[in-house]
Amino acid sequence: MSDHEDFEELRSLRATRPRAVAEAAARRVRRPLLAGAGERLMVVAADHPARGALGVRGDATAMADRYELLRRLRTALRRPGVDGVLGTADVLEDLLLLGELDGKVVFGSMNRGGLQNSVFELDDRFTGYDAAAIERMGFDGGKMLTRIDPDDAGSVRTLEASARAVDDLAARELVAMVEPFLSTRGADGRVVNDLSTAAVARSVAIAAGLGGTSAYTWLKLPVVEDMAAVMAATTMPALLLGGDPSGNAGQTYASWEKALAVPGVRGLMVGRALLYPPDGDVASAVDTAVDLVRKVAA
């Protein structure tokens, strides 16, 4: 069927058969997280809209059209070498009902309460998946954004909530994907993440200690100048995030390639840079990222 017909059926299922979500989850074909010791992951991230982060480069509403996002996600997930996706329940259930999650690794996004550019942005409350829901859906783990502002006493609530989520996921033998940042509010009131090597390494040290066990903890980290120094702060596996795709695509790919070669880095978890590339060619952008991940793995 065409996208138009598939989306018509999707709307119909959501309106008339809500149990179709649970039924699709129960019959979904699953796969191991990693097939071998040297395997790396290529995961597409699509949890931005639930935090109100809809902009890509100069377009403030690029991700506002759900149908366009789904078209781009379908293109990405069907490319050879793409292992899976990260998303909130609404996005993942759309993909599930469209039949796009068979044989894929799936991560549920857990805390989307810190809405972009809000006065409470650094209050990263858990408003999405919890560990029980991720287990019920048969997914592989949960991701939590863990921003820490040394000048904001509320950051300790984020740390506590993330620690409990790490424990809840580990109790179910599910991956806890922790995405830490040291953050501050700039002069204009906007939240700014400190992407210096020292700050990212410090955030790694803090995130790695969350919870009563680290057995199932992975890290989602930004690419910075000295990734070797960052990865020296932990023995945990890490996936690299793409960040705001505002720079030159060639330079971005070069930085990913360099970072992927650092011991402990196990692949990419990238969203806007691949789903909304400057030239609009999602398939080409995804293929380039897959080639980088597989090149290092080889």
User: Residues 113-122, buried b or exposed e (16+ Cβ, 10 A)?
Assistant: bbeeeeeebb
The CA-based angle 256-261-263, given to 5 degrees, is: 125
Spatial separation of the C-alpha atoms in residues 53 and 115, rounded to whole Å? 8
The domain spans of the chain are 42-297
Kind and range of the H or E run holding 192: strand 191-193
| CB distance 33 to 13 below 8 Å | no
Length, in residues, of the chain: 298
Q: Domain 42-297 is in which class?
A: alpha beta
Q: Which long-range contacts (CB under 8 A, 24 or more apart) does 276-285 make?
A: 276/56, 276/57, 276/62, 276/63, 276/72, 276/245, 277/245, 277/249, 278/57, 278/245, 278/249, 282/72, 282/75, 282/76, 283/75, 283/76, 283/79, 285/249
Separation CA 87–CA 50 (nearest Å): 9
Tell me the C-alpha distance between 293 and 14, whole Å: 36
Q: Which residue has the tokens 């000295």?
A: 226
* CA 284 – CA 84 distance, rounded (Å): 17
Which residues are CB-contacts of 226 (< 8 A; sequence separation ≥ 6)?
197
Q: What is the pTM of this model?
A: 0.95
Sign of the dihedral through C-alpha 188, 150, 127, 266: positive
Spell out the per-residue pLDDT of the chain, length 298, in tens.
688 899 999 999 999 999 999 999 999 999 999 977 778 999 999 999 999 999 998 889 999 999 999 999 999 999 999 999 999 999 999 999 999 999 999 999 999 999 998 999 999 999 999 999 999 999 999 999 999 999 998 899 999 999 999 999 999 999 999 999 999 998 888 999 999 999 999 999 999 999 999 999 999 999 999 999 999 999 999 999 987 766 678 889 999 999 999 999 999 999 999 999 999 999 999 999 999 999 865 5
